[in-house]
A and B are shown apart, each in its own frame.
Chain A
């Protein structure tokens, strides 16, 4: 079934939206709730992407008796190997699904590990020092990915076996459904997390560290846990992105796309509010797509229209910081028990007052 043009556009937007929503939610958890200047979001995303590109494909190749070592990432070998794997996956639906799930799980595990590693500097460093350290770590990881050929092919990206080869015609649609589902699951997960005791501990530590520590909250453990969870989510998003594109280009994990723009989405949406993330990401992704598609219509622009996307991002950050620092949907004050229960209690108190 060939999908009509506009439908493909919407599907593309939805997939972008889902992936970036997951990344932005993870960033919100770390920045909005734990107050860590996470300028290294790209670390977890790249870790997930590299895992998805490097490991599951090699496992399948091993099982099929194809080269799975350093030459798996060799451009010429890789084309042949991944082609053969794709043929097998296309015919075997359970295997495809298992491969997909395995990729995401592995990416999550590596993401958690990376999150733990990035929490080590976060113990002692604060503010600017921590932010720059994380930024530099991200740079380092991507440099390794781009230059160490056996990982994901370096400058000639390695191909990634396609988990949806069996629905070749409606592959985008299938990806869209799965991505949106994952994004919704992440949203529900982060909402529950932030409304849980753990979330309240995070907010308490963020708002008044000394008082919280006097109450016995272990800031190191809490920050570590938050970083691990955030990194897991981001890594899964990275793996998803890589599998959608079909090739693992290490150079595509730029600071701009995966750290700084998610910060812009988060600030627009409202730092500290998960639903705000939905608004922020959606507005930006739609605006970006509008710009990119209008540019093919308006041809008199003397410059590349992607420049306008950067400009928009910058202007939005500046205007939000100056005029709307709390974002579109500001952080809500969460009550400990649900509002409905509070109403019941108030009613009961009112009744007992009347009786007395």
Chain B
């Protein structure tokens, strides 16, 4: 069995990745930093909870409904308030503040819902799920994948990887669907993902880890294909880059914003439902507790890139679990309570050195700087600090 820290950590990281991706998507297109993401996440949890408590079955069945409900919440907000504010040309701060109002409304609605449900004792007796202290651990540990036999798993996974390689080559050669670099990148990422899944399956882990990882990765792929290959996705990117020009080009910005709110809301609810699996005990304040990691993750990833959002989510989520675990082993259990400080620390470091986030890093200029530094060092050591050497180094620096 894989160390539970890795299992829970990967699940948590996938959830934060989804949440951060939703924040970034909505911010990218509508410049609205969505505070209400927190309560949309909470409502995702409560949709899954309602399904399980009233209709039975496993929580995984209701994830789709959570996504749809989140989309509904996003639509409601866009149609009632956000559209008006965008047309008015409201500033970012005003847009942010308005979502705070929506957040309080949704929070109180979730709290009222939990209060009302508490009056139905059958929920607690039938499924052991009090509405305010929801604990999905039963499902978590019932659906553990105990280490599968390595050989068949590795064979199947290698088969999948080989088929993907062949498909990509065919697509490239015959249909000219993508350039060589993007084919190689895609293959590389897919290989890493398959390797991770193989390790998880061979060593054994909880089902939610595999499910959440697969979900996050497939959503990433789906979003990428949507943004790059479909007409509407390209329209969305155009609206993000230059709304006025996109308008001139005949793109209906209203539909673009609506779509981003629907997808953003859906992802938020999905992320919230997954987070509940790791939190142990979840209640109406679930969103409130993930708000800092979620926002830190989207800032770390870079507010203008979806891939950055997901990457930032994995960085922050995994760091929270792994760093705190490592620290607790050396410093003692008391440090576990200070887990919320990790996202803040990462965010501070990233903002100091890369204010545009990880996705905003200019790799070309970084490479140049590193090479120059390396050249300077080798020249100094070669010339042993002679006068010619010093002049040569100065010339190289300039």
Give me the interface of A with B, judged by CB distance under 8 Å. Answer: 35, 37, 121, 124-125, 127-129, 131-133, 135-137, 139-140, 143-144, 146-147, 255, 260, 263-264, 267, 302-304, 307-308, 310-311, 313-318, 321-322, 325
Q: When the two chains form their complex, are residues B292 and A303 in contact, meaning their CB atoms are under 8 A apart?
A: no
Residues A310 and B108 in contact in the complex (CB < 8 Å), given A125-B351, A318-B81: yes
CB-contacts of B324-377 with A (<8 A): 334, 337-338, 340-341, 343-344, 347-348, 351, 355
Residues A302 and B296 in contact in the complex (CB < 8 Å), given A140-B344, A260-B104, A316-B101: no
Q: When the two chains form their complex, are residues A322 and B81 in contact, meaning their CB atoms are under 8 A apart?
A: yes
- Complex: A288 Cα to B120 Cα, angstroms: 28
Contacts of A267 in B (CB 8 A): 97
User: What is the distance, in angstroms, from B294's C-beta to the closest C-beta of chain A?
Assistant: 10
User: What is the distance, in angstroms, from A20's C-beta to the closest C-beta of chain B?
Assistant: 16
Interface string of B203-229 (1 = CB under 8 A from A): 000000000000000000000000000
Q: When the two chains form their complex, are residues B93 and A37 in contact, meaning their CB atoms are under 8 A apart?
A: yes
Contact of A321 among B27, B101, B347 (CB under 8 A): B101
| Interface membership of B94, Cβ < 8 A | yes
User: What is the distance, in angstroms, from B247's C-beta to the closest C-beta of chain A?
Assistant: 23
Contacts of A307 in B (CB 8 A): 108, 111-112, 115
Contact of B104 among A137, A144, A302, A313 (CB under 8 A): A313
Q: When the two chains form their complex, are residues A304 and B111 in contact, meaning their CB atoms are under 8 A apart?
A: yes
User: What is the distance, in angstroms, from B18's C-beta to the closest C-beta of chain A?
Assistant: 18
Q: When the two chains form their complex, are residues B103 and A314 in contact, meaning their CB atoms are under 8 A apart?
A: yes
Contacts of A124 in B (CB 8 A): 355
- Complex: A144 Cα to B355 Cα, angstroms: 27
Q: When the two chains form their complex, are residues A318 and B102 in contact, meaning their CB atoms are under 8 A apart?
A: yes
Contact of A127 among B81, B93, B104, B343 (CB under 8 A): B93
User: What is the distance, in angstroms, from A291's C-beta to the closest C-beta of chain B?
Assistant: 12
User: What is the distance, in angstroms, from A79's C-beta to the closest C-beta of chain B?
Assistant: 24
Interface string of B105-146 (1 = CB under 8 A from A): 111110110011001000000000000000000000000000
Give the total number of A-B pairs whose CB atoms are below 8 A apart.
123
Contacts of A127 in B (CB 8 A): 92-93
- Least CB separation from A254: chain B residue: B288
- Least CB separation from A124: chain B residue: B355
Contacts of A315 in B (CB 8 A): 101, 105
Interface centre among A304, A316, A317 (most CB of B within 10 A): A317
- Complex: A260 Cα to B36 Cα, angstroms: 13
| Interface membership of B100, Cβ < 8 A | yes
Residues A321 and B115 in contact in the complex (CB < 8 Å), given A308-B108, A310-B107, A314-B105: no
User: What is the distance, in angstroms, from B174's C-beta to the closest C-beta of chain A?
Assistant: 45
Q: When the two chains form their complex, are residues A128 and B33 in contact, meaning their CB atoms are under 8 A apart?
A: yes
Q: When the two chains form their complex, are residues A325 and B108 in contact, meaning their CB atoms are under 8 A apart?
A: no
Q: When the two chains form their complex, are residues B105 and A139 in contact, meaning their CB atoms are under 8 A apart?
A: no
- Complex: A166 Cα to B341 Cα, angstroms: 42
Q: When the two chains form their complex, are residues B98 and A318 in contact, meaning their CB atoms are under 8 A apart?
A: yes
Sampled A-B contacts (27; CB under 8 Å): A35-B93, A124-B355, A125-B355, A127-B92, A128-B27, A128-B33, A131-B96, A133-B347, A133-B348, A135-B291, A136-B344, A139-B292, A144-B338, A263-B100, A264-B104, A302-B116, A302-B119, A307-B108, A311-B105, A313-B101, A313-B104, A314-B101, A315-B105, A317-B97, A317-B100, A317-B104, A321-B85
Q: When the two chains form their complex, are residues B116 and A303 in contact, meaning their CB atoms are under 8 A apart?
A: yes
| Interface membership of B303, Cβ < 8 A | yes
- Complex: A147 Cα to B334 Cα, angstroms: 8
User: What is the distance, in angstroms, from B255's C-beta to the closest C-beta of chain A?
Assistant: 22
Q: When the two chains form their complex, are residues B33 and A260 in contact, meaning their CB atoms are under 8 A apart?
A: no
Q: When the two chains form their complex, are residues B97 and A321 in contact, meaning their CB atoms are under 8 A apart?
A: yes
- Complex: A255 Cα to B296 Cα, angstroms: 17
- Complex: A121 Cα to B341 Cα, angstroms: 17
Give the 10 A-B CB pairs with smallest separation, nearest first.
Answer: A314-B104, A317-B101, A303-B115, A314-B105, A318-B101, A310-B108, A311-B108, A147-B337, A136-B344, A303-B112
- Complex: A264 Cα to B98 Cα, angstroms: 10
Residues A139 and B93 in contact in the complex (CB < 8 Å), given A314-B103, A314-B108: no
Residues A128 and B344 in contact in the complex (CB < 8 Å), given A302-B115, A303-B112, A325-B94: no
| Interface membership of B21, Cβ < 8 A | no
User: What is the distance, in angstroms, from B326's C-beta to the closest C-beta of chain A?
Assistant: 19
Q: When the two chains form their complex, are residues A321 and B98 in contact, meaning their CB atoms are under 8 A apart?
A: yes
- Least CB separation from A36: chain B residue: B93
- Least CB separation from B103: chain A residue: A314
- Complex: A303 Cα to B131 Cα, angstroms: 13
| Interface membership of B180, Cβ < 8 A | no
Q: When the two chains form their complex, are residues B111 and A322 in contact, meaning their CB atoms are under 8 A apart?
A: no
Interface centre among A140, A260, A316, A318 (most CB of B within 10 A): A318
Interface string of B83-101 (1 = CB under 8 A from A): 0110000101110111011
